[in-house]
Chains A and B, each alone.
Chain A
Amino acid sequence: MKFTDVYLQTATKILVFIIMTFSIYVLFAGHNNPGGGFIGGLITASALILLYIAFDLQSVRDIIPVDFKKLAATGVLIALLTGVASLVLNVPFLSQAYTYVDLPFLGKTELATAMIFDLGVYLAVLGTTMTIITSISEDDI
């Protein structure tokens, strides 16, 4: 019979949301405050690893049915496509632009194409880290 680690699992259920929220904050705050896609991706990955430690591999995979390799590839692709998009608009590769818009509830908000690029970085880092860790942990020696 397997021992169930009630303390760890209960704490994890709360902590994962806090860590996730923090990582998303870090990602979006990156433009104006310390943070960004790279560190955001690593923090999200750490939340997922906490899940893996508290529960077993199979359960986590059932909850989050994501192929991390594809996620990483998607991230790289997004980053590349933001560059290509600037080519379509006849400006040099990877030119970034920003503008301010008034959104309901949020007020005056800055929208920058660099954000989309950072999102690509975030997904690539998250996907790669998880690919490495899951493939090592699933390996049986």
Chain B
Amino acid sequence: MSTLHLAILLPFVFVIIIPLLYKYTTAIHTGWIALIVPVVLFVYFASYFSIYDAIEPITVSVPWIPSIDIHFTLYLDSLSLLFALLITGIGSLVVLYSIFYLSKDRERLHLFYAYLMLFMGAMLGSVLSDNLLVLYTFWELTSVSSFLLIAYWYQRQRSRYGAQKAMYITMTGGFSMLLGFIILYVASGTFSIREIIAMGDTVSTHYLFIPAMFFILLGAFTKSAQFPFHIWLPDAMEAPTPISAYLHSATMVKAGVYLVARMTPIFGAQLEWSWTIIIVGIVTLFWGSFNALKQYDLKALLAYSTISQLGLIMSLLGVGSMGMNVKFENESLVFMGAFLAAIFHLINHSVFKGSLFMMVGILDHETGTRDIRKLGGIMHLMPISFTLTMIGAFSMAGLPPFSGFISKEMFFTSMLTLSENNSSWVNIIPIVAWVASIFTFIYCMIIIFKSFSGTYHANLLERVPHEAPVGMLASPATLSILAIALFLFPGLVVTSILEPTVKGMAPNVFAKHPDWHAHITAWHGLNLELFMTIGLIIIGILLFLSIEKWKTPIFSLISKRYNLNQVYDKGMINLEKFGSKVTRSYMTGSTTHYLTYIFCFLIITVLGSLLITNSFYLDMSNDSPIEWYEFVLGIATVAAAIFVLFSKSRLMSIMGIGVIGFTVSLFFVIFRAPDLALTQLVVETISTTLFLLCFYFLPKLKTSITSLKFKLTNAIIALGVGTTLTLIGLSAYGHRIFVPIAGYFNNSYQLAGAKNIVNSILVDFRAFDTMLEIVVLFSAGIGIYTLIKLRHAGRND
């Protein structure tokens, strides 16, 4: 148990402590207690951070279930450290922000912070785990805690809907990911990511390697809201805004990105991997940024923008992994720039998106609405909020002097690299990316200008807006400063995080180029990327100014036809309908039907296996000769049975059954079984009497005398069962392998002092059966007694 383990367990400890303390610390906001965790952890993780050197990877392990190779192994390298710093750093800011955002008196804060700590611990565990199954455990914990947080205001119907949707989609991905992990285990024999990477070549020859890749990618795509699984994210905006800022922009949705980055050394050299990620990422980028334009709710707009930015990061990871393929051996270093861009934009996005969500929360808090049609003209009322929003949005749009500018230039470079090194149709990808960037620019402008400038509608707002308290502004201000700092001094993260991460993602490539160094600058000369940026700004401004003219016609045309939410909703409804239809089709409530299933199953399995294995066996050589009286009795039994089937009245059927019973007892006499014959005789008498009793008390209304209705299916099934059992009987009889143990019981007089073998078996050799049988008989008697005596008592209820 190392300090790293304790660091991960700390939030879980607070999950228990916070609700306990909540009762006794009514004077202070619970958030101050919760704030301890992320701050302490941030300081702890920051102690590993140095801007001049990469950290030496640390591996610590504690056995959890060693017998099946599950160890609680933690691995801290640059990539995990980056995520840990994001989780704890933004976590601290979010907790600070939520202290001012959530009311102490109206909210159940202990639940809020307990869920938040659960999430934080799970997320830290996910990014630090080296063991695939431990990673999966934490991964599902993030899904569960996210579910709890989205439905935090569970009295709202929309919150419950959003939480359920997010749960279904991310859980589906989670299970698929587990399947992929298990295949990796089968291929490699270990659950450790390090060890799987180390034996990369042998793993990739497994025949299920490519399916495993897609299963894992499905998990990453659902978690990171990639097309077409992005639909849960806009609905998750029903969560409190600090949660949206933390989970649904900065951390949880990046778990998929983390997974892809982590798995890149294993799968990256496959072209299927690269192309899947690039195409899904680009489609998500385009679709997200396009749909963001449509939104009027600021949070929904930010949700689509998150989707789009995550698509951007994904596609960059895909482009980077192309450099690992043997096909591009000579250009591999050029492709590595995409990894650099991906990780850099990951940091940027967390920074500016967290800030933007917090600003939207402030707007909501101060004006009472998030609808851009109601907002406007509050620039002079909330100047600081305006400035902070502008920094975030400009950074997202990719304008200088903010960090987003650098990552967007690197993105363009990567996309151009991709098209240069592939066949000509790939040229479409940079163009799509460029168009998506124009959309991004437009919605960033919408965020700033539609909500802060323009005319001020005092009558539409619920309260008079004024500047937010300092405590609320502190967190977004910190993030905004960071957004500028990353532009001015990108070297803050280059040597410590970016370079070792990129080198770790493509170990084979850098084994050949050991002297490569990551290099990022804000100014990179007059090149195509810069002109693309200038072009997108000009077109973006023109389109933004004319937005009222083209927005409504285009979206009314498209959104009705291509609506994935409708696909999801109808899919869920139809799935339920289909399920109940299937269930109703066979669970009819009719015993006849159930018996039909059971008998059909018997025929199919037993007769089927008899035919398939060809084990039917008929051997008459050992059979005894048949005497004439046996013939007579046999014919009598069969005749009685047929008579029962075709008799018109029930009384006749009862008599027929009685005849069968008595002939059976005669068979026992013939086959020298006096005890059986005696018992059969008496039992048959009693049961016939009981049948007559039942017959006598039949309700008068329904006693119309009819013969049994003939049904072909029933006849076929009956014949089938009869044939099956006859064949089984004959095969089993003719095929005796073992000598019966009956010889042992011949010694009953010596062993049990009894000349009657049957009786000595019943009461001596196998008395246990007899004992339980009389218990059965006794239970039946008591059962009948209770049924009759307590019936009237039951009626009074």
Contact = CB atoms under 8 A, between A and B. Distances in A.
A34 to B, nearest CB: 4
Contact of A31 (B682, B690, B753, B768): B753
Nearest to A120: B774
B682 A43 contact: yes
B678 interface: yes
Contacts of A75: 774, 778
Contacts of A110: 753
A36 B774 contact: no
A127 to B, nearest CB: 7
A131 interface: yes
Interface string A60-88: 00000000010011011001100100000
Contact of A76 (B693, B764, B774): B774
B28 interface: no
B759 interface: yes
B642 interface: no
A96 B753 CA distance: 10
Q: Is the interface of A mostly helix, strand, loop or mixed?
A: helix
B768 A93 contact: yes
A83 B775 CA distance: 14
Contacts of B756: 30-36
Contacts of B712: none
Nearest to B784: A132
B675 A121 contact: no
A46 interface: yes
Nearest to A138: B788
Contact of A39 (B682, B690, B755, B767): B682
Contacts of B782: 69, 72, 131
A128 B778 CA distance: 6
B221 to A, nearest CB: 62
Given A36-B763, A94-B768, A96-B767, A112 B754 contact: yes
Given A31-B755, A42-B679, A124-B778, A94 B771 contact: yes
Contacts of A80: 771
Contacts of B758: 34, 36
A109 B386 CA distance: 113
Contacts of A93: 768
A139 interface: yes
Interface in A30-60: 30-39, 42-43, 46
A117 to B, nearest CB: 5
Interface in B593-615: none
A23 B410 CA distance: 103
Contacts of B679: 38-39, 42
Interface string B747-788: 000001111101110111001101100110110111011001
A76 B756 CA distance: 23
Contact of B764 (A33, A96, A125): A96
Interface string A14-26: 0000000000001
B520 to A, nearest CB: 82
B746 to A, nearest CB: 15
Contacts of A120: 774
B789 interface: yes
A16 to B, nearest CB: 16
A141 interface: yes
B686 interface: yes
A118 B759 CA distance: 9
A36 to B, nearest CB: 5
A72 B493 CA distance: 87
Pick the most buried of B780, B785, B789: most chain A CB atoms within 10 A of its CB. B785
A34 B774 contact: no
Interface residues of A, number: 44
Interface string A85-99: 000000001101010
Contacts of B784: 131-132, 135-136
A122 B131 CA distance: 66
A110 B760 CA distance: 14
Given A36-B675, A69-B785, A124-B777, A83 B771 contact: yes
B464 interface: no
A135 B753 CA distance: 39
B16 interface: no
B622 to A, nearest CB: 28
Contact of B774 (A26, A42, A121): A121
B754 A79 contact: no
Contact of B686 (A39, A96, A117, A129): A129
Given A76-B778, A124-B777, A35 B678 contact: yes
Given A93-B768, A112-B752, A139-B788, A117 B763 contact: yes
B771 A79 contact: yes
A133 to B, nearest CB: 8
A125 B697 contact: no
A114 B759 CA distance: 10
A75 B775 CA distance: 10
A76 B763 contact: no
A4 to B, nearest CB: 24
Contacts of A38: 679, 762
A81 to B, nearest CB: 11
Contact of A98 (B752, B785, B789): B752
A136 B678 contact: no
A135 B788 contact: yes
Given A46-B682, A94-B768, A36 B781 contact: no
Nearest to A123: B774
Interface in B695-741: 697
A141 B697 contact: yes
Nearest to A92: B768
B781 A72 contact: yes
Q: 3 shortest A-B CB distances, which residue pairs?
A: A98-B753, A128-B781, A34-B674
10 contacts: A32-B754, A33-B755, A39-B675, A42-B683, A94-B771, A110-B753, A112-B753, A117-B763, A131-B785, A136-B693
Given A131-B781, A136-B693, 15 more contacts: A26-B678, A30-B756, A31-B753, A31-B759, A32-B755, A34-B758, A38-B762, A39-B675, A98-B752, A98-B753, A117-B763, A118-B759, A120-B774, A124-B774, A135-B789
